[in-house]
Amino acid sequence: NAALCDSTGSLFCDQFKYNKALLMYQMSLIIRLQSLGYDHPDVSQSYNNIGNVLYYQCKYHEALPMYQHSLKILLESFEYDHSHAAQLYNNIGLVYNKQFKYDQALSMYQKSLNIRFMLFGDYHSHVAQSYNNIGNVYFDQFKYDKALLMYKKSLDIRLQLFGDYHSDVAQSYNNVGLVYKKQLMYDHALSMYQKSLKSRLKLFGIYHSDVAQSYNNIGNIYSSQLKYDEAMSMYEKSLNIRLQLFGDNHSDVAQLYNNIGLLYKKQSMYDHALSMYQKSLNIRLGLFGDNHSDIAQSYNNIGNVYCDQSKYEEALSMYQKSLNIRLTLFGDKHSHVAQSYNNIGLTYMKQFKNDNALSMYKKSLNIRLELYGDYHADVAQTYNNIGNVYCDESKYDEALNMYKKSLNIRLTIFGYNHSCVSESYTNIENIYYYQGKYDKALIMYQQSLNIRLKLSENDHPNIDQPYTNTTNVISGQSKDDNSLPMPLAKLSFKSYEDEDYCIIESDQYTDTELTNNKQIEFDETLQRYQMSPNVQQGENSTILYNFEDSSNVHQETDRKDELVDDQSTQKNDNYQGSEEDESNLSTPMSQHKIQNIECLESTQLYPGIIPAKDKYPQVTKLCKSDDDHLIDIPEMPGLQLIIPKQCLTDDVAITLTVYYLDLPYPYNLYPEDDDQHIIYLSPIVRLEPDGYLFNKQQSFNVVLQLPIPSISELYQRRRINNIRDLVVQLGQRRQSDNKWQIENIANQPTISIVNVNDTCCISIPIYHFSDYVIFVKSIFSFVSKYIYPSLQQQVAARAYLSRIDDVQKMANLEIILIRNDVDKALIEKSDSKEYPISLLCEGLEETILENGSYKIKFDRCGLECRHEELVQQDLEINWNERICYRYFYKCNILLSVDQLIMIADIIIEPIGNQINKNSKLLSLVMPKSSNPLPTPSPPDADENSIIKLRKVLDDNYDDFLRLVPADEISPKLRNKQILSKRDVINIQNKTHENDKVDLLFWTFYCHRQVKDFLAFCQLLKKTDVRSIKEFGEKLEIEYKHS
Give the 3-state secondary structure of residue 190. helix
Give the 3-state secondary structure of residue 577. coil
Within 8 A by CB and 6+ apart from 240, the residues are: none
Question: So what's the pLDDT on residue 928?
Answer: 62
| AA letter at 187 | D
Average pLDDT over residues 218-240: 91
What CA–CA distance (Å, rounded) separates 833 from 828? 10
Residue-wise pLDDT for 343-393, tens only, equals 999 999 888 899 999 999 999 999 998 888 888 888 999 999 999 999 888
Containing 948, the helix (H) or strand (E) segment is helix 943-955
Question: So what's the pLDDT on residue 254?
Answer: 92
| CA-angle at 832, arms to 831 and 834, nearest 5° | 70
Lowest mean pLDDT among 234-243, 517-526, 945-954, 986-995: 517-526
Containing 730, the helix (H) or strand (E) segment is strand 729-733
- pLDDT band at residue 281 using 50, 70 and 90 as cut-offs: very high
Comparing CA positions, the residue from 197, 84, 41 lying closest to residue 497 is: 84
Within 8 A by CB and 6+ apart from 846, the residues are: 415, 416, 417, 794
- Burial code of 6-27, b = ≥16 C-beta within 10 A, e = fewer? bebbbebbeeeebeebbbbbbb
| AA letter at 870 | L
Question: Per-residue DSSP letters for 612-644?
Answer: -SSS--EEEEEE-TTS-EEEE-TTSTT-EEEE-
Comparing CA positions, the residue from 991, 1031, 1005 lying closest to residue 779 is: 991
Res. 690: pLDDT tops 60: yes
What CA–CA distance (Å, rounded) separates 46 from 36? 12
- pLDDT band at residue 588 using 50, 70 and 90 as cut-offs: very low
DSSP structure class, residue 839: P
What CA–CA distance (Å, rounded) separates 599 from 1006? 19
Strand order in the sheet with 752-756: 629-632, 640-643, 702-707, 759-766, 752-756
- pLDDT band at residue 79 using 50, 70 and 90 as cut-offs: low
Residue-wise pLDDT for 403-447, tens only, equals 988 988 888 777 777 888 888 989 998 888 888 888 788 888 888
Res. 315: pLDDT tops 90: yes
Residue-wise pLDDT for 975-1022, tens only, equals 777 877 667 777 877 777 877 888 888 778 766 678 888 888 988 988
Res. 867: pLDDT tops 50: yes
DSSP structure class, residue 920: E
| AA letter at 133 | N
Question: So what's the pLDDT on residue 341?
Answer: 94
- pLDDT band at residue 675 using 50, 70 and 90 as cut-offs: low
Containing 68, the helix (H) or strand (E) segment is helix 60-76
Average pLDDT over residues 1-24: 87
Task: Between 86 and 466, name the one with better pLDDT.
Answer: 86
Residue-wise pLDDT for 119-173, tens only, equals 888 888 899 999 999 999 988 877 888 899 899 999 999 998 888 889 999 999 9
Question: So what's the pLDDT on residue 211?
Answer: 93
- pLDDT band at residue 565 using 50, 70 and 90 as cut-offs: very low
- pLDDT band at residue 889 using 50, 70 and 90 as cut-offs: confident
Give the 3-state secondary structure of residue 884. strand
Average pLDDT over residues 849-856: 89
Question: So what's the pLDDT on residue 556?
Answer: 30
Rank 322-331, 489-498, 703-712 by mean pLDDT and report only the highest. 322-331
What CA–CA distance (Å, rounded) separates 503 from 478? 5
| CA-angle at 1030, arms to 1029 and 1033, nearest 5° | 95
Does a cis peptide bond (omega within 30 degrees of 0) precede residue 910? no
What CA–CA distance (Å, rounded) separates 1001 from 477? 44
> Where do the H-state alpha helices sit in 205-227?
209-224
Lowest mean pLDDT among 378-387, 717-726, 945-954: 717-726
Residue 445 CA: distances (Å) to CA of 469, 535, 577 = 18, 18, 24
Residue-wise pLDDT for 590-622, tens only, equals 333 333 333 334 445 666 677 777 788 888 888
Strand order in the sheet with 507-511: 507-511, 551-556, 566-570
Residue-wise pLDDT for 30-60, tens only, equals 888 888 888 888 888 899 999 999 998 888 8
Comparing CA positions, the residue from 90, 777, 155, 409 lying closest to residue 147 is: 155
Q: Are 228 and 236 in contact (CB under 8 A)?
A: no
Residue 313 CA: distances (Å) to CA of 201, 305, 319, 320, 339 = 47, 12, 10, 10, 18
Question: So what's the pLDDT on residue 189?
Answer: 92
Residue-wise pLDDT for 638-666, tens only, equals 888 988 888 888 888 889 999 888 877 87
For all residues of the chain together, what is the average pLDDT?
76
What CA–CA distance (Å, rounded) separates 801 from 793? 26
Question: So what's the pLDDT on residue 584?
Answer: 25
Question: So what's the pLDDT on residue 387?
Answer: 93
Q: Are 812 and 890 in contact (CB under 8 A)?
A: yes
Q: Are 941 and 836 in contact (CB under 8 A)?
A: no
Average pLDDT over residues 564-582: 28
Residue 649 CA: distances (Å) to CA of 198, 643, 644, 692, 766 = 40, 12, 11, 11, 15
Within 8 A by CB and 6+ apart from 869, the residues are: 593
Question: So what's the pLDDT on residue 780?
Answer: 56
Question: So what's the pLDDT on residue 1006?
Answer: 65
Beta pairing, strands 872-877 & 884-893: unpaired
Containing 819, the helix (H) or strand (E) segment is strand 810-819
Percent of residues, the chain, with pLDDT higher than 70? 78
Question: So what's the pLDDT on residue 623?
Answer: 87
Question: So what's the pLDDT on residue 101?
Answer: 84
Average pLDDT over residues 882-895: 82
Q: Are 585 and 599 in contact (CB under 8 A)?
A: no
Residue 774 CA: distances (Å) to CA of 33, 668, 727, 744, 764 = 65, 15, 11, 10, 10
Res. 1028: pLDDT tops 80: yes
Q: Are 559 and 477 in contact (CB under 8 A)?
A: yes
Q: Are 920 and 843 in contact (CB under 8 A)?
A: yes
What CA–CA distance (Å, rounded) separates 225 from 209? 25
Question: So what's the pLDDT on residue 605?
Answer: 60
Residue 931 CA: distances (Å) to CA of 203, 837, 892, 928 = 65, 8, 17, 8
For the chain, state the CA radius of gyration. Answer: 31
Res. 586: pLDDT tops 70: no
Question: So what's the pLDDT on residue 358?
Answer: 93
Res. 193: pLDDT tops 90: yes
Question: So what's the pLDDT on residue 884?
Answer: 83
What CA–CA distance (Å, rounded) separates 601 from 829? 14
Average pLDDT over residues 962-970: 87
Question: So what's the pLDDT on residue 827?
Answer: 58
Question: So what's the pLDDT on residue 455?
Answer: 73
What CA–CA distance (Å, rounded) separates 1009 from 942? 9
